[in-house]
Structure 1
């Protein structure tokens, strides 16, 4: 009597689809659990968000507000802060959330920073989480950037965040707890041509918060940096006309270096970073990650590629 194999064939056919479904289910459940834990861990925590009226700041405000955090929202425009306040309070249950507190903070006016720090601390007497989110961008050749513009970018991207952190750190040291999150840029680790001032300010911020992390570790204070590529709410528009004749490798790397991440994805990464207490996060596609390794292992090759890309960019502009 021969064994019957037909009944065994069907399960083997559906094994792969079943594995995919199960894996997808496990991944979904895992994300939901992490999301729930991330929200629960910020409940009742005092969370400061700088540049809260930006796309990313607004996403973070909604996410932390729903999680029950005591928000202190900073921005340089009162009307926009009030509008964000209305959005948060109108869409939430007042028995489960706290009404945000608003603070005018303009990093371009460094003389006002002492008052800003005092006002932030006075809101609740302490700060549990500081999210430094402000950023000023510039794309231009080195020789065309004025010293005044250099200083403005350094104020916004470096001196502002570092000064606010210095002002808040003493309250965290007294309580021996706290978390500072710097939303930086991958250009704080990898400089790209025509963004000299921006990259310099981001490198400075990266170095400052790296030093700060080591200095405050003994007090139970966490410091995290999130290095992302370009923040965008939508896909970049397609280029019109034929593609210019550029160095293929340089164009490929350059296109991926500016490939964006949405504010919602970045906001979720921020709350996960607070939950997991991760030291460093690189939120980028594979090509920028590879470029970071090339910068350390084969710098001459990367410099040659970036120089070729810069030359092609200049030639293209001259031909237009």
Structure 2
């Protein structure tokens, strides 16, 4: 006896969902297998995204080199990775102190990283410094500090591991950047400038090293949500509706675990460019190219509304 016609569509949906789930699980499993024995460097490994990446790649059997500014936090991460790990399936991570704000130390850091295993298969540049302030109130010293951490640091480290990658004709460099490396919004001038610079550098580098079989990837994401923001209880003036909506979408972040999984998938698929954002930021990117006056007007209206709200408080 055949199935009633009303049952066919729900059954097809269930089957399709099951196939999609199995496909994702297989891809995720293969991603972990592909990083086995690979030498993977993670900068700012003690951050939310860095920690999630460390756990994913460690479980996959990668030879990790974890970089961070705090030795105590690095040791704590080391303990969490090795406490439940199978020594037969995983490798004990190497720890390296790395502070991009101290550019004078970068030569020694690069040498220490290369001494760990003699080569680097995957470099994940994850470090970032954020700042929200009007451009006129940001000092030149702060501008330089942000450029060191977000631009000069990752570029210097990438250049340091590049010769060995080129000689081996194998390697993958990943820049975990920001959507603001492509689209600048008000009150983040220094941050957006550093992210634009990093985006441009790694875009150029991608073309320059392709002939050697190297892969350069950039992942542009919205803000990272480490926790849910507390609801506001204070009333405020109603802003421009369109500007407020775009701003809320631009600042709607991703969780560290989602971003870490995307990084793992990028290593697996060798994707050159990833935009991890909701539809509105993606539309704003197109507006920046196709209708810049409209986007500028919307952002300017949002600034006026925010200034008005501050004056009324």
**Residue 150 of structure 2 corresponds to which residue in structure 1?**
157
- Aligned residue for 1:44, secondary structure, equals coil
Looking at structure 1, the residues matched to 4 and 107 of structure 2 have their Cα atoms a distance apart, in angstroms, of 69
- Aligned residue for 1:271, secondary structure, equals helix
**Residue 4 of structure 1 corresponds to which residue in structure 2?**
none
**Residue 274 of structure 2 corresponds to which residue in structure 1?**
281
Looking at structure 2, the residues matched to 241 and 14 of structure 1 have their Cα atoms a distance apart, in angstroms, of 51
Q: TM-score, normalised by structure 2?
A: 0.98
How do 1:103-252 and structure 2 match up within 5 A?
103-252=96-245
Looking at structure 1, the residues matched to 48 and 136 of structure 2 have their Cα atoms a distance apart, in angstroms, of 31
Looking at structure 2, the residues matched to 11 and 235 of structure 1 have their Cα atoms a distance apart, in angstroms, of 46
8 Å CA contact retained: 2:165, 2:171? yes
Unpaired runs of at least 5, structure 1: 1-6
8 Å CA contact retained: 2:236, 2:309? no
Larger radius of gyration: 1
Unpaired runs of at least 5, structure 2: none
**Residue 79 of structure 1 corresponds to which residue in structure 2?**
72
**Residue 296 of structure 1 corresponds to which residue in structure 2?**
289
- 1:314 paired with 2:312, answer no
How many residue pairs were aligned? 313
Once the two structures are TM-superposed, the CA of residue 23 in structure 1 deviates from its matched residue by 1.6
- Aligned residue for 2:267, secondary structure, equals helix
- Aligned residue for 1:261, secondary structure, equals coil
Please provide the CA RMSD for this pair: 1.0
Runs of 4+ in structure 1 over 4 Å off: none
Once the two structures are TM-superposed, the CA of residue 243 in structure 1 deviates from its matched residue by 4.7
Once the two structures are TM-superposed, the CA of residue 234 in structure 1 deviates from its matched residue by 2.7
Looking at structure 1, the residues matched to 18 and 187 of structure 2 have their Cα atoms a distance apart, in angstroms, of 45
- Aligned residue for 2:40, secondary structure, equals strand
- 1:35 paired with 2:28, answer yes
Q: Mean alpha-carbon deviation: is it higher for 271-280 or for 242-251?
A: 242-251
Looking at structure 2, the residues matched to 143 and 233 of structure 1 have their Cα atoms a distance apart, in angstroms, of 29
